[in-house]
Structure 1
């Protein structure tokens, strides 16, 4: 079996590549640059996402059984300041890829996973109710709007062209190797800087009372694998939440990280990190994912946070 991963050098892409290769799947990753790869065993193929013909040639040459489309702009914050790039990266490039698929020799056999976000929902209709896939989409950021559009495109290419495609909506995913700019990586990076005496013993935080749905990235990629390894009764053209189904407060994330630290650390709230509007509780309903795949998360939150810190500490 052979898989093609777009965005293969990113946080999730690297974990997915390693996971698939452990299952004996040959993995190809796309790149726009002359990138030699940081995942041993993954084959890198340069691709021009602006050129559908170039994409068709890559698909015809590689002949993947699975395509995991992870490439795109992943920052909600950046989407506010650069809306055009966000839509170009998340919507237009998805169109180019799917157009290439339906014009390639693999159209009839390949299975495709597009990756959206819980940001597509915008916020829960009821404050403490887990959000299911049939909830109304009310994205409130340009990023969320772009990902909701990707989900609609997935449905369109299934209905119009019979493409075997599933749209995943992951909630907060965390784990070793995540770049700074997300709550766990930000907290962890500050802690390691303090341990190295490169920062005063004070960690700057935002709203700690908010509760979110966190899942280890290694459990996330396991779900992605299972979603494309279903039988013909799979929900092709549908959307599936990928989440733990549990609410965890940012305070408890911080408390656990501090308990794993080698230093005494004070906590200071930074008003610049507080959002004008912050949904108190935001969790997903993973009933559909479990019914389709029998997926269950296997990595505890404490283990995830410990691994995040270890990865940062091991970096020179």
Structure 2
């Protein structure tokens, strides 16, 4: 049976990807720093901090996976500004620890490394959907650390490790932290609806345009990318994107339209990012042409599910 080691399994994407992998018939070992919130008999749990090199070696020696999907990272951009050392230690040195462990204990395993569209940075100022050959000009510590980790993976690929690098664009959905924009909007609307917040939405830059994807579509792409373990020649880097940019204001308007509450909007300067860019969209021709992957879930549907989730969650919030 094909056996996937999934790092960052307790994260927003990891939880969805676990279900995707199990449904596809994979045996899964979930690696994270804390126990899975819903332990079950159909997957293995491994306590692992990727910053610990010896622990990485021990985990790979014990599991001997055929495939690895590396999600574990500090992925919140404001956190990367507040704590760049934690970000680099986790995203770069942690990836190097994992790569060394793969080289020593599971050299035949196929690796999918989840980087980020943030690596393109200033290149987005061209105002077009960027493809995988676009320059990488990171504008924050998170993006810089992801690009550095990409370079590490490229070096190990040259040494014989097999795998791909993916650059997912903004993926959203049920279970995401309210530190991220769509979940923040949905949570605030739900709080307003139940009387726990004044009918005023606190927002950041609404004019920025972003390429939004449902997290299930992103996980479907990761699943398809595992198929490259069966072939000899394949591209090394893939965007996972819709190819279309949507204004943050349009996202907010759609969520508000799904509520019967009377809601006003107010700019919160604390929510403005120091390196914000006007438009960030990805060209997804490569993954479409090679794997026939394309997004299937509409933004409207994703936002409706997100709002429904937060309506349930805020009832128990204090």
Name structure 2 gaps, 5 residues minimum. Answer: none
Give the length in aligned residue pairs.
311
Aligned mates of 1:71, 1:125 — CA distance in 2: 25
Cα 1:167/1:39, change in 2 over 3 Å: farther
> Which residue of 1 is the match for residue 226 of structure 2?
228
Cα 1:234/1:75, change in 2 over 3 Å: farther
Question: Any idea what the Cα deviations from partners look like across 1:215-244, whole Å, max 9, x if unmatched?
Answer: 1110001101111212424436x2211111
Aligned mates of 1:279, 1:196 — CA distance in 2: 34
Higher helix share: 2
Aligned mates of 1:2, 1:277 — CA distance in 2: 40
When normalised by structure 2's length, the TM-score is 0.93
Cα 1:261/1:42, change in 2 over 3 Å: farther
Aligned mates of 1:18, 1:275 — CA distance in 2: 33
Measured on the aligned residues, the alpha-carbon RMSD in Å equals: 1.6
Matched residue of 1:78: which SS?
helix
> Which residue of 2 is the match for residue 265 of structure 1?
263
Q: Say which is worse superposed, 6-15 or 283-292, in terms of deviation.
A: 283-292
> Which residue of 2 is the match for residue 12 of structure 1?
13
Q: Is the 8 A contact 1:8 1:29 kept in 2?
A: yes
Cα 1:276/1:10, change in 2 over 3 Å: closer
Cα 1:51/1:208, change in 2 over 3 Å: closer
> Which residue of 2 is the match for residue 157 of structure 1?
156
Aligned mates of 1:15, 1:301 — CA distance in 2: 17
Q: Is the 8 A contact 1:205 1:267 kept in 2?
A: yes
Q: Is the 8 A contact 2:4 2:66 kept in 1?
A: yes
> Which residue of 1 is the match for residue 146 of structure 2?
147
Matched residue of 1:229: which SS?
helix
Aligned mates of 2:11, 2:150 — CA distance in 1: 21
Which one of the candidate residues 211, 216, 219 is aligned to 1:218?
Answer: 216
Q: Is the 8 A contact 1:115 1:170 kept in 2?
A: yes
Q: Is the 8 A contact 1:209 1:251 kept in 2?
A: yes
> Which residue of 1 is the match for residue 32 of structure 2?
31
Q: Is the 8 A contact 1:247 1:281 kept in 2?
A: yes
> Which residue of 2 is the match for residue 206 of structure 1?
204
Question: Any idea what the Cα deviations from partners look like across 1:163-212, whole Å, max 9, x if unmatched?
Answer: 11211111111010000111101111101111111000111112211111
Q: Say which is worse superposed, 62-71 or 216-225, in terms of deviation.
A: 62-71
Aligned mates of 1:46, 1:207 — CA distance in 2: 38
When normalised by structure 1's length, the TM-score is 0.93
> Which residue of 1 is the match for residue 77 of structure 2?
76
Aligned mates of 1:31, 1:281 — CA distance in 2: 34
Q: Is the 8 A contact 1:17 1:39 kept in 2?
A: no
> Which residue of 2 is the match for residue 167 of structure 1?
165
Q: Is the 8 A contact 1:123 1:282 kept in 2?
A: no
Matched residue of 1:181: which SS?
coil
Q: How many angstroms does 1:48 deviate by?
A: 4.4
> Which residue of 1 is the match for residue 107 of structure 2?
107
Q: Say which is worse superposed, 258-267 or 198-207, in terms of deviation.
A: 258-267
> Which residue of 1 is the match for residue 46 of structure 2?
45
Cα 1:52/1:278, change in 2 over 3 Å: closer
